[in-house]
Amino acid sequence: MDKEKVREIYSELQGYLSQFPIGDSPDRSIDDDDYSKNINSLVLELNRLTEEDFSRFNIGVHSIKYAGRTEVIHEIKISEYRTKVMGLIKILHSKFFQSEHEPFSSSPSTVNINSQHQEQSQVQNIKLLIDVSKVITKNLNNAETTAEEKTFLYEVEKVLPTINGGLDLLQKVSSIATKAGIAIAAVSKLFN
């Protein structure tokens, strides 16, 4: 593995994230303008260099055709982009650059316990969201998953960028399941 090439990608991802707009609402989208293509090509290169699969960090593009317009608009969700790119940066840091100062954290000369706790919580939240996203993808691609269960999973997938921890995830999954008429046993089966 060429660690210097991985470092270049790691730095490039940090640059993209630092320049990407911050959304004022979790559901806000922006025109794609090659954002997804840039990240997705870096993910492919990482897969090749490391012989690992980072494809869960690919950015999805949503094609929308507005009434009265002839062109199709390609948009990405700001929260999805920021979550996935930050997650990829964190994973690369933990796998390849752990001895270095973590990007987007507080000043290295100041040890702030609250900041460290907050960063640990953010990393745990990102890992939780990645794990949930993997389970959703697996079940959406499973032929045995019913149409009702797939609808439920799509609804859960929509709220993932707004999740603020394990309790919030449980509350939202429970609420979506109740609205969809899916029993807790069925939800449990989907997430096992």
pLDDT band of 118, cuts 50, 70, 90: low
- CB neighbour list of residue 6: distance below 8 Å, 6 or more residues apart: 46, 49, 50, 92, 96
SS3 8: helix
Q: For the ranges 1-10, 20-29, 52-61, which has the lowest average pLDDT?
A: 20-29
Residue 92 has pLDDT above 90, yes or no: yes
What pLDDT, on the 0 to 100 scale, is given for residue 45? Answer: 95
Strand order in the sheet with 73-77: 29-31, 73-77, 62-64
Instruction: State the burial class of residue 143 (Cβ atoms within 10 Å of its Cβ: 0-12, 13-18, 19+).
Output: exposed
Rounded mean pLDDT, 149-166: 86
Angle (CA) 187-189-192 rounded to 5° is 110
Q: What gap in Å lies between CA 164 and CA 3, rounded to an integer? A: 33
Rounded mean pLDDT, 186-192: 86
Q: In the chain, what are the domain boundaries?
A: 3-100, 125-190
pLDDT digits (tens, 9 = 90+) for 55-86: 999 988 877 776 777 777 788 888 888 889 99
Could you tell me if 54 and 41 are in contact, meaning their C-beta atoms sit under 8 angstroms apart? no
Q: Please list the residues that pair with 31 across neighbouring strands.
A: 75
Contacts for 164-173: CB closer than 8 Å, 24+ residues apart = 164/125, 165/121, 165/125, 165/128, 166/128, 169/128, 169/132
What pLDDT, on the 0 to 100 scale, is given for residue 88? Answer: 93
Q: What gap in Å lies between CA 157 and CA 140, rounded to an integer? A: 11
